Amino acid sequence: MKRSFKHILFYGTQFLVGLVVVEVFTLFFYPQVNIYPRAVLDNRFGYIYPNDVTVVHQLRGAWRFEYTMNEKGFRGPYRAPGQATGSKKIITLGDSYTMGIGVNDGEEYPAVLEAALSGEYEVTNLGIPSYALTQQVRAYLEIGRLYQPAYVVLQFHPNDIPDNFNYKVAAIEDGTIEFHDRHYSGFQRVRTAFMQNIVFQKSHLFNFFKNAMINRPPENNIDTKPGPEQDVLDSRPSKPSEKETFYVDLLTAFSREVAGDSVSLILIDVDGAYQRFPAIWEAIRKMEGDGLLTYLDTREWLKDQRGYDSPEGHAWGKVAHEVIGLNLSAYIKIQDQPRIPANDL
Protein backbone atom coordinates (compact mmCIF):
# COMPACT_ATOMS: atom_id res chain seq x y z
CA MET A 1 0.00 0.00 0.00
CA LYS A 2 2.81 2.39 0.94
CA ARG A 3 4.68 1.53 -2.26
CA SER A 4 1.59 2.26 -4.36
CA PHE A 5 1.16 5.60 -2.59
CA LYS A 6 4.81 6.46 -3.23
CA HIS A 7 4.42 5.58 -6.91
CA ILE A 8 1.34 7.78 -7.19
CA LEU A 9 3.11 10.62 -5.40
CA PHE A 10 6.22 10.23 -7.56
CA TYR A 11 4.41 10.12 -10.91
CA GLY A 12 1.98 12.82 -9.82
CA THR A 13 4.87 15.11 -8.94
CA GLN A 14 6.56 14.34 -12.23
CA PHE A 15 3.36 15.15 -14.08
CA LEU A 16 2.93 18.48 -12.31
CA VAL A 17 6.56 19.41 -12.90
CA GLY A 18 6.10 18.54 -16.57
CA LEU A 19 3.02 20.75 -16.77
CA VAL A 20 4.92 23.66 -15.22
CA VAL A 21 7.78 23.22 -17.67
CA VAL A 22 5.43 23.12 -20.68
CA GLU A 23 3.48 26.12 -19.30
CA VAL A 24 6.69 28.16 -19.00
CA PHE A 25 7.76 27.08 -22.50
CA THR A 26 4.37 28.13 -23.92
CA LEU A 27 4.51 31.42 -22.03
CA PHE A 28 7.84 32.43 -23.54
CA PHE A 29 7.65 30.90 -27.01
CA TYR A 30 3.90 30.67 -27.80
CA PRO A 31 2.17 33.28 -25.60
CA GLN A 32 -1.61 33.19 -25.87
CA VAL A 33 -4.31 35.83 -25.77
CA ASN A 34 -5.68 36.04 -22.26
CA ILE A 35 -8.86 37.71 -21.05
CA TYR A 36 -9.91 37.55 -17.42
CA PRO A 37 -12.42 37.53 -15.87
CA ARG A 38 -14.70 36.21 -18.58
CA ALA A 39 -18.44 36.51 -19.00
CA VAL A 40 -20.66 34.50 -16.65
CA LEU A 41 -23.91 32.68 -17.37
CA ASP A 42 -27.08 34.75 -17.17
CA ASN A 43 -30.70 33.64 -17.60
CA ARG A 44 -31.92 36.83 -19.26
CA PHE A 45 -29.15 37.45 -21.77
CA GLY A 46 -27.34 34.12 -21.94
CA TYR A 47 -24.20 35.66 -20.44
CA ILE A 48 -22.92 38.92 -19.07
CA TYR A 49 -19.75 40.18 -17.42
CA PRO A 50 -19.36 40.06 -13.62
CA ASN A 51 -20.26 43.20 -11.71
CA ASP A 52 -17.63 45.74 -10.65
CA VAL A 53 -14.59 44.10 -12.21
CA THR A 54 -11.75 45.23 -14.42
CA VAL A 55 -11.36 42.84 -17.34
CA VAL A 56 -7.74 42.50 -18.45
CA HIS A 57 -7.25 41.51 -22.10
CA GLN A 58 -3.67 40.96 -23.20
CA LEU A 59 -1.10 39.20 -25.30
CA ARG A 60 2.17 39.10 -23.42
CA GLY A 61 4.77 41.39 -24.95
CA ALA A 62 2.39 42.72 -27.61
CA TRP A 63 -0.61 44.57 -26.17
CA ARG A 64 -2.79 45.01 -23.09
CA PHE A 65 -6.24 46.56 -22.62
CA GLU A 66 -8.42 47.05 -19.56
CA TYR A 67 -12.21 47.21 -19.52
CA THR A 68 -13.91 48.49 -16.37
CA MET A 69 -17.35 46.95 -15.85
CA ASN A 70 -19.91 48.65 -13.62
CA GLU A 71 -22.23 47.24 -10.99
CA LYS A 72 -24.60 45.94 -13.69
CA GLY A 73 -21.92 44.17 -15.74
CA PHE A 74 -21.67 46.76 -18.53
CA ARG A 75 -18.76 49.01 -19.45
CA GLY A 76 -18.59 52.56 -18.19
CA PRO A 77 -20.02 54.40 -15.17
CA TYR A 78 -23.36 53.23 -13.87
CA ARG A 79 -26.13 55.80 -13.54
CA ALA A 80 -29.45 54.70 -12.18
CA PRO A 81 -32.48 55.24 -14.44
CA GLY A 82 -34.47 58.27 -13.38
CA GLN A 83 -31.47 59.88 -11.71
CA ALA A 84 -31.84 63.65 -12.06
CA THR A 85 -28.72 64.88 -13.84
CA GLY A 86 -30.09 67.49 -16.19
CA SER A 87 -28.71 65.62 -19.19
CA LYS A 88 -30.59 63.82 -21.94
CA LYS A 89 -29.83 60.15 -22.52
CA ILE A 90 -28.35 57.99 -25.27
CA ILE A 91 -28.28 54.19 -25.23
CA THR A 92 -25.72 52.26 -27.29
CA LEU A 93 -26.40 48.64 -28.25
CA GLY A 94 -24.04 46.23 -29.96
CA ASP A 95 -21.32 43.65 -29.52
CA SER A 96 -17.59 43.91 -28.87
CA TYR A 97 -17.28 46.92 -31.18
CA THR A 98 -19.70 48.88 -29.00
CA MET A 99 -18.32 47.63 -25.71
CA GLY A 100 -14.94 48.66 -27.06
CA ILE A 101 -12.83 45.51 -27.17
CA GLY A 102 -9.33 46.54 -28.26
CA VAL A 103 -9.36 50.04 -26.73
CA ASN A 104 -8.85 51.19 -23.16
CA ASP A 105 -11.41 52.86 -20.91
CA GLY A 106 -12.57 56.19 -22.26
CA GLU A 107 -11.49 55.37 -25.82
CA GLU A 108 -14.60 53.39 -26.84
CA TYR A 109 -16.94 55.34 -29.13
CA PRO A 110 -19.79 55.63 -26.56
CA ALA A 111 -17.37 57.35 -24.14
CA VAL A 112 -16.03 59.58 -26.94
CA LEU A 113 -19.61 60.42 -27.91
CA GLU A 114 -20.52 61.48 -24.37
CA ALA A 115 -17.38 63.60 -23.98
CA ALA A 116 -18.00 65.33 -27.32
CA LEU A 117 -21.55 66.25 -26.31
CA SER A 118 -20.16 68.20 -23.35
CA GLY A 119 -22.67 67.30 -20.67
CA GLU A 120 -25.76 67.65 -22.84
CA TYR A 121 -26.13 63.87 -22.94
CA GLU A 122 -25.19 60.89 -20.83
CA VAL A 123 -24.40 57.73 -22.78
CA THR A 124 -25.17 54.31 -21.31
CA ASN A 125 -23.22 51.57 -23.07
CA LEU A 126 -25.08 48.22 -23.16
CA GLY A 127 -22.71 46.55 -25.64
CA ILE A 128 -21.33 43.11 -24.75
CA PRO A 129 -19.00 40.98 -26.93
CA SER A 130 -20.87 38.73 -29.38
CA TYR A 131 -24.30 40.00 -28.32
CA ALA A 132 -26.76 39.38 -31.14
CA LEU A 133 -29.83 41.44 -31.98
CA THR A 134 -31.95 39.25 -29.68
CA GLN A 135 -29.80 40.21 -26.69
CA GLN A 136 -29.50 43.84 -27.79
CA VAL A 137 -33.27 44.19 -28.12
CA ARG A 138 -33.87 42.68 -24.70
CA ALA A 139 -31.16 44.88 -23.17
CA TYR A 140 -32.95 47.97 -24.46
CA LEU A 141 -36.49 46.93 -23.60
CA GLU A 142 -35.60 45.78 -20.08
CA ILE A 143 -32.83 48.25 -19.21
CA GLY A 144 -32.24 50.98 -21.77
CA ARG A 145 -35.90 52.00 -22.05
CA LEU A 146 -35.92 52.92 -18.35
CA TYR A 147 -33.59 55.83 -19.14
CA GLN A 148 -36.16 57.38 -21.51
CA PRO A 149 -33.41 58.10 -24.05
CA ALA A 150 -33.58 60.57 -26.90
CA TYR A 151 -31.40 58.36 -29.12
CA VAL A 152 -30.54 54.68 -29.43
CA VAL A 153 -27.44 53.71 -31.42
CA LEU A 154 -27.48 50.10 -32.63
CA GLN A 155 -24.28 48.65 -34.11
CA PHE A 156 -24.30 45.63 -36.43
CA HIS A 157 -21.76 42.92 -37.22
CA PRO A 158 -22.42 39.85 -39.44
CA ASN A 159 -22.09 37.57 -36.39
CA ASP A 160 -25.42 38.96 -35.20
CA ILE A 161 -27.34 36.94 -37.78
CA PRO A 162 -26.32 33.39 -36.72
CA ASP A 163 -25.86 34.36 -33.07
CA ASN A 164 -29.54 35.25 -32.81
CA PHE A 165 -30.21 31.51 -32.94
CA ASN A 166 -27.51 30.71 -30.37
CA TYR A 167 -29.10 33.06 -27.84
CA LYS A 168 -32.75 33.35 -28.77
CA VAL A 169 -33.71 35.35 -25.70
CA ALA A 170 -36.11 37.49 -27.76
CA ALA A 171 -38.35 36.54 -30.67
CA ILE A 172 -41.44 37.68 -32.55
CA GLU A 173 -44.61 35.87 -31.45
CA ASP A 174 -48.05 36.93 -32.69
CA GLY A 175 -46.55 40.16 -33.95
CA THR A 176 -44.98 41.21 -30.66
CA ILE A 177 -41.51 40.83 -29.11
CA GLU A 178 -41.47 38.13 -26.45
CA PHE A 179 -38.62 37.21 -24.11
CA HIS A 180 -37.36 33.71 -23.35
CA ASP A 181 -34.97 33.05 -20.49
CA ARG A 182 -32.13 30.58 -20.93
CA HIS A 183 -32.07 27.90 -18.29
CA TYR A 184 -28.76 26.33 -17.34
CA SER A 185 -28.44 23.07 -15.47
CA GLY A 186 -26.43 22.78 -12.30
CA PHE A 187 -23.83 20.80 -14.24
CA GLN A 188 -23.50 23.57 -16.85
CA ARG A 189 -22.99 26.18 -14.15
CA VAL A 190 -20.42 24.09 -12.28
CA ARG A 191 -18.56 23.25 -15.49
CA THR A 192 -18.50 26.88 -16.59
CA ALA A 193 -17.32 28.07 -13.17
CA PHE A 194 -14.60 25.41 -13.19
CA MET A 195 -13.39 26.30 -16.70
CA GLN A 196 -13.40 30.00 -15.81
CA ASN A 197 -11.18 29.45 -12.82
CA ILE A 198 -8.30 31.93 -12.77
CA VAL A 199 -5.73 29.12 -12.94
CA PHE A 200 -7.17 27.89 -16.26
CA GLN A 201 -7.94 31.26 -17.79
CA LYS A 202 -4.48 32.66 -17.12
CA SER A 203 -2.75 29.48 -18.26
CA HIS A 204 -1.05 29.87 -21.65
CA LEU A 205 -1.03 26.08 -22.09
CA PHE A 206 -4.79 25.84 -21.46
CA ASN A 207 -5.50 28.72 -23.83
CA PHE A 208 -3.21 27.20 -26.47
CA PHE A 209 -5.31 24.03 -26.65
CA LYS A 210 -8.62 25.87 -26.25
CA ASN A 211 -7.82 28.28 -29.06
CA ALA A 212 -6.74 25.43 -31.30
CA MET A 213 -10.05 23.63 -30.79
CA ILE A 214 -12.49 26.44 -31.53
CA ASN A 215 -13.28 28.11 -34.83
CA ARG A 216 -14.14 31.48 -33.33
CA PRO A 217 -11.35 33.96 -32.53
CA PRO A 218 -9.40 33.24 -29.33
CA GLU A 219 -10.51 36.35 -27.43
CA ASN A 220 -13.45 34.71 -25.64
CA ASN A 221 -15.38 34.30 -28.91
CA ILE A 222 -15.04 38.01 -29.57
CA ASP A 223 -16.09 38.90 -33.09
CA THR A 224 -13.60 40.55 -35.42
CA LYS A 225 -13.91 42.11 -38.86
CA PRO A 226 -16.01 40.27 -41.47
CA GLY A 227 -14.29 37.40 -43.22
CA PRO A 228 -13.62 37.39 -46.95
CA GLU A 229 -16.50 35.04 -47.65
CA GLN A 230 -18.89 37.78 -46.53
CA ASP A 231 -17.62 40.20 -49.13
CA VAL A 232 -19.05 38.33 -52.11
CA LEU A 233 -22.65 39.34 -52.66
CA ASP A 234 -23.22 37.43 -55.90
CA SER A 235 -22.46 34.12 -54.15
CA ARG A 236 -25.42 34.59 -51.84
CA PRO A 237 -28.78 32.97 -52.63
CA SER A 238 -31.38 35.39 -53.97
CA LYS A 239 -33.86 34.20 -51.34
CA PRO A 240 -32.99 35.32 -47.79
CA SER A 241 -32.15 32.59 -45.32
CA GLU A 242 -34.29 31.81 -42.28
CA LYS A 243 -31.77 33.59 -40.08
CA GLU A 244 -31.79 36.72 -42.24
CA THR A 245 -35.59 36.76 -42.25
CA PHE A 246 -35.59 36.41 -38.46
CA TYR A 247 -33.19 39.37 -38.21
CA VAL A 248 -35.38 41.55 -40.45
CA ASP A 249 -38.56 40.69 -38.56
CA LEU A 250 -36.98 41.40 -35.17
CA LEU A 251 -35.33 44.64 -36.30
CA THR A 252 -38.59 45.84 -37.85
CA ALA A 253 -40.54 45.15 -34.65
CA PHE A 254 -37.80 46.75 -32.55
CA SER A 255 -37.68 49.88 -34.71
CA ARG A 256 -41.43 50.29 -34.21
CA GLU A 257 -41.06 49.86 -30.44
CA VAL A 258 -38.37 52.53 -30.35
CA ALA A 259 -40.37 54.88 -32.57
CA GLY A 260 -43.34 54.34 -30.27
CA ASP A 261 -41.18 55.67 -27.44
CA SER A 262 -40.49 58.80 -29.52
CA VAL A 263 -36.83 57.79 -29.62
CA SER A 264 -34.55 58.24 -32.64
CA LEU A 265 -32.92 54.96 -33.73
CA ILE A 266 -29.51 55.19 -35.41
CA LEU A 267 -27.95 52.16 -37.12
CA ILE A 268 -24.22 51.83 -37.74
CA ASP A 269 -22.23 48.82 -38.92
CA VAL A 270 -18.68 47.54 -39.32
CA ASP A 271 -17.18 47.98 -42.80
CA GLY A 272 -20.60 48.39 -44.45
CA ALA A 273 -21.64 44.93 -43.27
CA TYR A 274 -25.38 45.50 -43.72
CA GLN A 275 -24.93 45.85 -47.46
CA ARG A 276 -23.54 42.31 -47.65
CA PHE A 277 -27.04 41.02 -46.95
CA PRO A 278 -29.39 42.28 -49.70
CA ALA A 279 -32.65 41.34 -47.97
CA ILE A 280 -31.63 42.99 -44.71
CA TRP A 281 -30.27 46.05 -46.50
CA GLU A 282 -33.48 46.44 -48.51
CA ALA A 283 -35.55 46.21 -45.31
CA ILE A 284 -33.37 48.84 -43.62
CA ARG A 285 -33.80 51.24 -46.53
CA LYS A 286 -37.56 50.74 -46.32
CA MET A 287 -37.60 51.37 -42.56
CA GLU A 288 -35.52 54.48 -43.12
CA GLY A 289 -37.99 55.65 -45.75
CA ASP A 290 -40.80 55.07 -43.27
CA GLY A 291 -39.05 57.27 -40.72
CA LEU A 292 -38.35 54.42 -38.27
CA LEU A 293 -34.56 54.73 -38.23
CA THR A 294 -31.50 56.41 -39.72
CA TYR A 295 -28.56 54.47 -41.17
CA LEU A 296 -25.13 56.12 -40.92
CA ASP A 297 -22.26 54.61 -42.93
CA THR A 298 -19.10 54.62 -40.80
CA ARG A 299 -17.00 53.94 -43.89
CA GLU A 300 -17.60 57.53 -44.96
CA TRP A 301 -16.15 58.74 -41.68
CA LEU A 302 -13.14 56.42 -41.84
CA LYS A 303 -12.28 56.64 -45.54
CA ASP A 304 -9.43 59.12 -45.00
CA GLN A 305 -7.98 57.19 -42.06
CA ARG A 306 -5.21 54.61 -42.29
CA GLY A 307 -4.29 51.87 -39.86
CA TYR A 308 -7.26 52.39 -37.56
CA ASP A 309 -7.69 48.75 -36.51
CA SER A 310 -6.82 47.43 -33.05
CA PRO A 311 -3.64 45.37 -32.50
CA GLU A 312 -5.75 42.57 -31.00
CA GLY A 313 -7.69 42.09 -34.24
CA HIS A 314 -10.81 44.28 -34.27
CA ALA A 315 -11.40 46.49 -37.28
CA TRP A 316 -11.99 49.49 -34.99
CA GLY A 317 -9.08 50.59 -32.84
CA LYS A 318 -8.57 53.82 -30.88
CA VAL A 319 -8.56 56.08 -33.96
CA ALA A 320 -11.71 54.52 -35.41
CA HIS A 321 -13.59 54.79 -32.11
CA GLU A 322 -12.61 58.44 -31.81
CA VAL A 323 -13.70 59.24 -35.37
CA ILE A 324 -17.01 57.39 -34.96
CA GLY A 325 -17.78 58.97 -31.59
CA LEU A 326 -17.06 62.48 -32.89
CA ASN A 327 -19.13 61.99 -36.04
CA LEU A 328 -22.07 60.60 -34.08
CA SER A 329 -21.93 63.64 -31.81
CA ALA A 330 -21.85 65.97 -34.83
CA TYR A 331 -24.91 64.21 -36.29
CA ILE A 332 -26.83 64.47 -33.00
CA LYS A 333 -25.96 68.15 -32.60
CA ILE A 334 -27.36 68.84 -36.07
CA GLN A 335 -30.53 66.89 -35.28
CA ASP A 336 -30.97 68.87 -32.07
CA GLN A 337 -30.84 72.24 -33.78
CA PRO A 338 -34.17 74.09 -33.76
CA ARG A 339 -36.15 73.62 -36.93
CA ILE A 340 -37.33 76.76 -38.72
CA PRO A 341 -40.94 76.43 -39.91
CA ALA A 342 -41.24 76.49 -43.70
CA ASN A 343 -43.62 79.47 -43.62
CA ASP A 344 -40.99 81.50 -41.73
CA LEU A 345 -38.40 81.11 -44.45
**Residue-level pLDDT at 218:** 34
Query: For 78-334, CATH number?
Result: 3.40.50.1110
- E strand or H helix that includes residue 68: strand 63-68
Nearest by Cα to 155 from 80, 115, 101, 105 = 101
- Residue 153's SS3 state is strand
Reply yes or no on whether the pLDDT at 18 is more than 90: no
Reply yes or no on whether the pLDDT at 204 is more than 80: no
**Residue-level pLDDT at 150:** 97
**Residue-level pLDDT at 186:** 86
**Residue-level pLDDT at 239:** 85
Pairing of strands 46-48, 34-36: unpaired
Q: How far apart are CA 64 and CA 55, in angstroms?
A: 11
When comparing pLDDT for 36 and 300, which is higher? Answer: 300
Q: What is the pLDDT of residues 274-289, one digit of tens each?
A: 999 999 999 999 999 9
**Residue-level pLDDT at 342:** 56
Tell me the average pLDDT across 109-134: 97
Q: What is the pLDDT of residues 144-167, one digit of tens each?
A: 999 999 999 999 999 999 999 999
**Residue-level pLDDT at 259:** 97
Tell me the average pLDDT across 200-224: 53
Q: What is the pLDDT of residues 23-53, one digit of tens each?
A: 565 555 556 778 889 889 999 999 999 999 9
Q: What is the pLDDT of residues 219-246, one digit of tens each?
A: 334 343 443 333 334 445 568 999 999 9
Cα distances (Å, whole numbers) of residue 266 to 99, 218, 259, 293, 342: 17, 30, 11, 6, 26
- E strand or H helix that includes residue 324: helix 318-335
When comparing pLDDT for 137 and 345, which is higher? Answer: 137
**Residue-level pLDDT at 191:** 75
Quickly state the pLDDT bin for 83 (edges 50, 70, 90): confident
Which pTM does this prediction carry? 0.86
To the nearest whole number, what is the mean pLDDT of the chain? 86
- Residue-wise DSSP of 179-207: E------HHHHHHHHHHT-HHHHT-HHHH
Quickly state the pLDDT bin for 339 (edges 50, 70, 90): confident
Give the amino acid at 108. E
Calculate what percentage of the chain has a pLDDT beyond 90: 66
CA 318 to chain centre: 16
**Residue-level pLDDT at 300:** 97
Tell me the average pLDDT across 309-313: 95
The arrangement of strands across the sheet holding 264-269 comes to 121-125, 88-93, 151-156, 264-269, 294-295
**Residue-level pLDDT at 116:** 98
